[in-house]
């Protein structure tokens, strides 16, 4: 796990009930660019060997860590969009995703030409909860005929089923911080 990130979660993260972690003062509303650069370097170090040709993420909160990872790996970043309506077009790939935080569905959308069949795509997101976002991204990557080179999340909530679901599909997600459980006011990380 990434020690500076853990310390930051302990000092500024806020557990809302047992399920939702607020990190909006440094990750997804106000953003700490220096921490994001360290996160990008750490993902780049972990995934150096997978020879990714693209990093992909989902708008909005995945963009900051994914951008810094793509910068460190010197490959393009592809931002998958959340669309509310189906758009029939040869140019677009779409798949439905259930949003953990909003409790609603969206159509994850990407232009076909930004993921080519020969691509090896590293998926980076801010949170891993139920794995819906990552599974949707993997589906689009497969629809493009490309390979998932790896999956990384900044914060994993290990008490939710995301990891098991991704492993069931053959993926092995890497988390920079992993939370075993939370309660109002308390955040417990998993043992290393």
State which residue, 24 or 91, has the beta carbon closest to ligand 5GP.
Answer: 24
**Shortest separation between residue 117's beta carbon and ligand 5GP, angstroms:** 26
State which residue, 52 or 137, has the beta carbon closest to ligand 5GP.
Answer: 137
C-alpha to C-alpha distance for 69 and 61, rounded to whole angstroms: 14
**Shortest separation between residue 22's beta carbon and ligand 5GP, angstroms:** 6
C-alpha to C-alpha distance for 114 and 69, rounded to whole angstroms: 18
Of the candidates 14, 72, 82, 76, which has an alpha carbon nearest to the alpha carbon of residue 44?
72
Give the other-Cβ count within 10 Å of 39's Cβ: 27
**Shortest separation between residue 144's beta carbon and ligand 5GP, angstroms:** 20
**Shortest separation between residue 187's beta carbon and ligand 5GP, angstroms:** 11
State which residue, 89 or 143, has the beta carbon closest to ligand 5GP.
Answer: 143
State which residue, 51 or 59, has the beta carbon closest to ligand 5GP.
Answer: 59
C-alpha to C-alpha distance for 20 and 90, rounded to whole angstroms: 38
55: helix, strand or coil: strand
* Residues contributing to the site for ligand 5GP (CB under 6 A): 20-21, 23, 28, 58, 61-62, 100-101, 125-133, 157, 162
Residues contacting 62, CB < 8 A, separation 6+: 79, 124, 125, 126, 133
């Amino acid at each position: 796990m990434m020690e500076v990130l853990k310390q930051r979660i302990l000092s500024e993260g806020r557990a809302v009930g047992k399920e939702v972690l607020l990190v909006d003062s440094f990750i997804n509303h106000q953003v700490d660019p220096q921490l994001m650069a360290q996160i990008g370097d750490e993902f780049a170090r972990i995934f150096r060997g997978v020879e990714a040709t693209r990093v992909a993420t989902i708008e909005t909160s995945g963009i900051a860590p994914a951008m810094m990872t793509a910068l460190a790996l010197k490959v393009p970043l592809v931002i998958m969009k959340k669309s509310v309506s189906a758009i029939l077009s040869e140019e677009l790939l779409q798949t439905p995703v259930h949003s953990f935080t909003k409790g609603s569905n969206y159509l994850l959308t990407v232009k076909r030409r930004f993921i080519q069949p020969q691509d090896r795509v590293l998926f980076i997101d801010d949170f891993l909860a139920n794995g819906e976002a990552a599974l949707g991204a993997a589906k689009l990557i497969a629809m493009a005929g490309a390979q998932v080179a790896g999956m990384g999340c900044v914060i994993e909530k290990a008490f939710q089923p995301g990891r098991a679901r991704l492993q069931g599909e053959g993926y092995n997600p890497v988390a920079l911080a992993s939370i075993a459980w939370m309660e109002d006011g308390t955040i417990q990380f998993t043992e290393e």
